[in-house]
Amino acid sequence: MQRRFLLNLALLLVLNLLVKPFYILGIDAGVQDAVGSATYGTYAALLSLGFLLNIVLDLGMTNQNTRHIAQHTQLMGKTVGGVMGVRFVLVLLYAVLTVGAGIVLGFRGDQLAVLGWLVVNQALVATIQYLRSNIAGAQRFKQDSLLSVLDRVLLIGMVGWLLWGRGGPAPFRIEWFVWAQTIAYGTTALVAYVLVHRIAGGVRLAWQPAFAWVVVKQSFPYALLILLMTFYYRIDTLMLERLLPDGPLQAGIYAQGFRFFEAFNMLGYLMAGLLLPMFSRLLGAKDAKANDGLAPLVRLAIRLVLTGTIAVAVFGSVNAKAIMDLRYTEHTAQSAPVFALLIGCFVAVCSTYVFGTLLTAGGRLKQLNWLAGSGAVLNIGLNLVLIPRMQAEGAAWASLVTQGLTAVAQIALAKRLYSIGIPTGLLVRALVYAAVLVGTAWWIATLGLGLLAALAVFASVVVLLAWLLGMVNRTVLYEALELRVPAKV
């Protein structure tokens, strides 16, 4: 199982590293350059509003379905046919709630028109994610990996042409970006449906009230979890835009720092999508030997997470201003400290992608919801205090504190429930690894090297140090290839 995880993770990373960073830092950032930070900040706030209520579209069905299909793949055709009817009703409910919330919050005119299209886009994205959960649950990871980048490839082509290839005097409009998303998501949803139809041997769409009620009842705990987590992950931009006199500008500044964090964070998110069906199948296996593979898989995943995320967080924090200058020409002095704080969240967020996914696969939704609810309350409270005093940087501090405490709580919960945590030896090595990398990064900064040269030197130290400290070494590689699973880490 570890070897399969590593090979599929490698495929996911290669495909997404080729596509998504260019989309986020090239296309998405290019749109902000073209329309201005204030206009983009309003778009980002509207997008955040769409994300906050996004759970209405899904009600946790995607995560619950991944777990269900991983253990009962033969039921895919029947399940998909019944669920798609439920989702159509949820789209209507989501549209009414989201547009209504936009009106209550004071959005008007063109802003509501953009919000309406974002509602359509979010409905398509939720559909894609649900269809992909069936493909991943059936362990068709290669097909799922290709689907994970299809919409971004289409957007790169369309929006790239609109930004740099079309010519003509007309300025780029934010609406063009939104409409291009509709086309890309619609195409991807169609392809995903065709794949699911083939894997399931046919899908018969039907509205079945009794089945719908069972699905909603089973999915509700997942829905609540996603809603609460979305609040402390996405509400920052909306609160910045609404609370401050120059809210659209501050939201745009925050978006500059958040965009780089999001580019890195998608790697952890992809790993979680790969781990959920694997954890679910291991936890649902009746064979005791299959269940024995759970702890080694968790240990392998957290080793990879700590090795990579600590290095990224250290280099990003020390070189935040240079990284912002690499892509932007405006407001980099303000967005650099935002990015330095957000990239510090990277270690915590990716740790939750391992242990939170383990808890989700095990159906520990009650405990996770209590943790997520506490995180949401803490984050909103911190934002209310810090945003008026520190603007975009205050929102970043709120995220860092919330994500860090949430990660620690999830690791402790997994340790208590499954006796699987971060082994003391690995934790000590990780702390030494982090301390040495911080010193190395500051030393490299004194040399006056360019950003790429500094990155090359730092990366060399990372590889050497990770090997010497045993973060990644021959034992780990043997474990990953299933040549040997050590009894201790």
**pLDDT above 60 for 214:** yes
If pLDDT is split at 50, 70 and 90, which confidence band does 483 have?
very low
If pLDDT is split at 50, 70 and 90, which confidence band does 480 have?
low
**260-278 mean pLDDT:** 75
Q: What is the pLDDT of residue 486?
A: 37
**pLDDT above 90 for 388:** yes
For 212-269, the three-class secondary structure string (H helix, E strand, C coil) is HHHHHHHHHHHHHHHHHHHHHHHHHHHHHHHHCCCHHHHHHHHHHHHHHHHHHHHHHH
Percent with pLDDT over 70 in the chain: 81
Q: What is the pLDDT of residue 74?
A: 65
Lowest mean pLDDT across 159-173, 193-207, 276-290, 464-478: 276-290
If pLDDT is split at 50, 70 and 90, which confidence band does 13 have?
low
Q: What is the pLDDT of residue 485?
A: 36
Closest CA to 342 of 282, 409, 285, 394: 394
Q: What is the pLDDT of residue 432?
A: 95
Percent with pLDDT over 90 in the chain: 31
Q: pTM higher than 0.85 for the full model?
A: no
Q: What is the pLDDT of residue 477?
A: 59
Distance, in Å, from the CA atom of 466 to the CA atom of 90, rounded to the nearest integer, reads 48
Q: What is the pLDDT of residue 338?
A: 94
**215-239 mean pLDDT:** 76
**pLDDT above 70 for 339:** yes
If pLDDT is split at 50, 70 and 90, which confidence band does 488 have?
very low
What Å distances lie between residue 333 and 286, 290, 321, 323, 338, CA to CA?
56, 52, 7, 11, 9
**80-98 mean pLDDT:** 82
Token pair recorded at residue 171: 């300025």
Q: Give buried/exposed letters for 161-182 (b at 16+ CB in 10 A, else e).
A: ebbeeeeeeeebebebbbbbbe
**208-234 mean pLDDT:** 71
If pLDDT is split at 50, 70 and 90, which confidence band does 242 have?
confident
Task: Give the mean pLDDT of the chain.
Answer: 82
Per residue in 107-128, pLDDT (tens digit) is 888 899 999 999 999 999 988 9
Q: What is the pLDDT of residue 259?
A: 82
**373-396 mean pLDDT:** 93
Higher local confidence (pLDDT), 41 or 327: 41
Q: What is the pLDDT of residue 67?
A: 67
Element of type H or E holding 448: none
Q: What is the pLDDT of residue 32?
A: 87
Select, from the ranges 209-223, 253-267, 276-290, the one with the highest average predicted confidence (pLDDT).
Answer: 253-267
